[in-house]
Amino acid sequence: MKWTHAVAFALLAVGLAGCSKPKQVQPDTSAQAPVDGSAQTSGLGNETGPSTGASAGAMSAAQQQALAALQSRNIVFFEFDSSEIRADYVSVVAAHAAYMTKFPTARVRLEGHTDERGSREYNIGLGERRAQTVRKALMLQGVAEAQITTVSYGEERPAVEGSDESAYAQNRRVELVQVQ
Amino acid sequence: MTFQRAQARPTRLSHARALAWFFVLAGSLATSAHAQLRLDITQGVRDAVPIAVVPFGGQAEGGPNDVAAVIAGDLQLSGRFKPLERRDLVARPTRGEQVRFEDWRLLESDFLVIGHVAPEASGLAVEFELFNVQTGQQLLTKRLVTSERGLRATAHRIADLIFERLTGIPGAFSTRIAYVAVDGRPPRQRYRLMVADADGYGPRIVTESSEPIMSPAWSPDGQSLAYVSFEGKASAIYVQRLATGERKRVSARAGINGAPAWSPDGRKLALTLSRDGNLDLYVLDLATQGLTRLTSDGAIDTEPEWSRDGASIYFTSDRAGNAQVYRVGAGGGQEAQRLTFTNGYNARPRMSPDGESLALVTLDRGAYRIATYDLKTRNVHVLTDGRQDEAPSFAPNGAILIYATRAGAKGTLAMASADGRFQQRLSSDTGDVREPVWSPFPPAQR
């Protein structure tokens, strides 16, 4: 098994942040739940998340391996009302930047989220601000603007249920979803 | 841009009960074909005025068209009245000459409503009388012609008239409420935009999706809803006509399309876009698609709300470090003016029907609560005592607000009077209910 430099860098970066708890992002299930008889309003997304592996055919083995290595490190968490990337998640962004500069066809969707406190549309703004922070960090590390899209879900798509600090901490996040 | 048809599926309710809200969701979850969401009043209201509403003659008691039950339910929901339990009614008069006022005085009922339903050539005639129990004086009587299908609407109309006669404020019982209902656990959730009568009866699905739906807003004529939908993995604003289900995508620009708010004349939408990577306010002309930019601050500017004269926009911004309410001219090219300074967090302003105050979400001693902000005195008056109250919406008569609160882990609805005298929680059986928005008055009442 031969690893590319990019993968080696990504794994090194992951290793450097060993003190933080690794989080597993949920597979992108939204496209799997069509709405009965109401196609106009159902989720129309047909992009394939990394965990499904369905797009593997178009990718080199090296890229597939690099992508697989990113799967366990694709969420950046935030403090309350903050959009600053915490030191322990700098390596997550760096790993994705390394992958995306190595494979210029790679595309990432940055999904910004907040906890449930405060008004919903304001939280859309806060989630967007978080996604933009990660976007800028990726671009500073050489990722092309065209490789990145952002979306803010605010508090509308929590990762976990609950109204305590532990749930809030897990919901304040940007998910880096590699879409190709 | 073309209209396309979206789902508008009517559902029927098997029975209704006075003093309770029923929401029937046409559930399409695997576990239940028709999940029922019932909202009960869980908190008594102090100082509520006792009133007896006697079952109307000419119709069987119970069932969804029980006129007296609908009237009593409305009066109870207003928070100002406490209808007597049906089992405590000492008599069943249906016409004025049958009333013995001393019976009702013993029950300590201040007012009495009686009436009857009778067939007539063009349908049904509903006649009612309102009495002051102490004086025996008839305060109001009226005869309304309707049909079997129109009985509930007629009952709401009677409740409107009684409420206005006794409080001086037009009743808002002939209105509707839109809200978002969410089922399922993260990350697989289903989002439905619903519309029901103001007493929760007859919920209909306006649209549904496996992606978030948020921020419903009634058009000033009550015919359409604007809302945000994330179908297609990006936000877009839609306008949907309720009668036909036709809908139009009015804004799907790159980035965020959020927080739609109708201008008072219904011709424009104020909204939030993120063209420069952060949220700013714009006004979209629905006929010409012309876009006017209102703010260009680097902060979050969102949640626009029009002044009654259409000249100004109130909105939330964190340009000073935390969320506060500002005002800017609706025509563009103006500096925004900060309005709120207290509590470290004031957001989502909503204009009162008289244009004199804003309802907003404020951070009150560590909890998010509903407050009013008086535009003249600048006083902030906290109305609620929840931990996470949000999304206030005035009834069109301005007397009461509906808002979203949490009951345990679930989102549910609650009401508070605009003067802060009472609030009542409404509990639900299933799902998460949020973002309630009260419709305008129907055309006949405007």
Measure B441 CA to nearest chain A CA, in Å. Answer: 26
Angle at A130 between CA A125 and CA A136, to 5 degrees: 120
Q: Is the pLDDT of residue B223 over 90?
A: yes
> Distance between CA atoms of B327 and B349, rounded to whole angstroms?
10
Q: Is the pLDDT of residue B395 over 80?
A: yes
Here the ipTM equals 0.87
Measure A147 CA to nearest chain B CA, in Å. Answer: 14
- In tens, the pLDDT along A127-164 reads 999 999 999 999 999 999 999 999 999 999 999 988 89
Q: How many CB atoms lie within 10 A of CB B34?
A: 12
Binary contact (A43, B231; C-beta < 8 A): yes
Which of the four pLDDT bands, split at 50, 70 and 90, describes residue A49? Answer: very low
> Distance between CA atoms of A19 and A180, rounded to whole angstroms?
29
In this prediction, residue A18 carries a pLDDT of 35
B214 contacts B404 by C-beta, under 8 angstroms = no
Contacts 24+ apart (CB under 8 A), B401-408: B401/B359, B401/B370, B402/B177, B402/B436, B402/B438, B403/B370, B403/B436, B404/B433, B404/B434, B404/B435, B404/B436, B406/A163
Measure B83 CA to nearest chain A CA, in Å. Answer: 35
A50 contacts A27 by C-beta, under 8 angstroms = no
Which residue among B210, B212, B302 sits closest to A125, beta carbon to beta carbon? Answer: B302
A55 contacts A90 by C-beta, under 8 angstroms = no
In this prediction, residue B42 carries a pLDDT of 53
pLDDT averaged over chain B? 88
Q: CA-nearest residue of chain A to B208?
A: A41
- In tens, the pLDDT along B228-280 reads 999 988 999 999 999 999 999 999 999 999 999 999 999 999 999 998 778 99
Q: Is the pLDDT of residue B148 over 80?
A: yes
In this prediction, residue A157 carries a pLDDT of 94
Q: Is the pLDDT of residue B406 over 70?
A: yes
In this prediction, residue B427 carries a pLDDT of 65
The continuous run of DSSP H or E covering A125 comes out as helix A120-140
Residues on chain B touching A47 (C-beta within 8 angstroms): 233
Q: Which two tokens stand for residue B86?
A: 């049906």
Q: For A102, list phi and psi in degrees, rounded to 5.
A: -70, -40
Q: Which residue has the tokens 């201008």?
A: B263
In this prediction, residue B41 carries a pLDDT of 58
- In tens, the pLDDT along B24-81 reads 332 222 223 233 345 455 555 667 899 999 999 999 999 889 999 999 999 998 989 9
Q: Is the pLDDT of residue B11 over 80?
A: no
Which residue among A41, A124, A157 sits closest to B209, beta carbon to beta carbon? Answer: A41
> Distance between CA atoms of A175 and A112, rounded to whole angstroms?
7
Binary contact (A30, B215; C-beta < 8 A): no
Measure B291 CA to nearest chain A CA, in Å. Answer: 20
B69 contacts B85 by C-beta, under 8 angstroms = no
Binary contact (B231, A41; C-beta < 8 A): yes
Burial class (CB in 10 A: 0-12, 13-18, 19+), B121: exposed
Q: Is the pLDDT of residue A111 over 50?
A: yes
Residues on chain A touching B185 (C-beta within 8 angstroms): 161
In this prediction, residue B187 carries a pLDDT of 77
> Distance between CA atoms of B417 and B396, rounded to whole angstroms?
13
* H helix and E strand count, chain B: 3, 33
Q: Which of B204, B228, B233, B302 to mutate to test the interface with A (most CBs of A within 10 A)?
A: B233
CB neighbours of B390 closer than 8 A, spacing ≥ 6?
A118, A119, A120, B348, B361, B368, B370, B403, B404, B405, B434
Q: Which of A26, A80, A120, A173 to mutate to test the interface with B (most CBs of B within 10 A)?
A: A120
Measure A143 CA to nearest chain B CA, in Å. Answer: 17
> Quick one: CA dihedral B385, B389, B395, B397, positive or negative?
positive
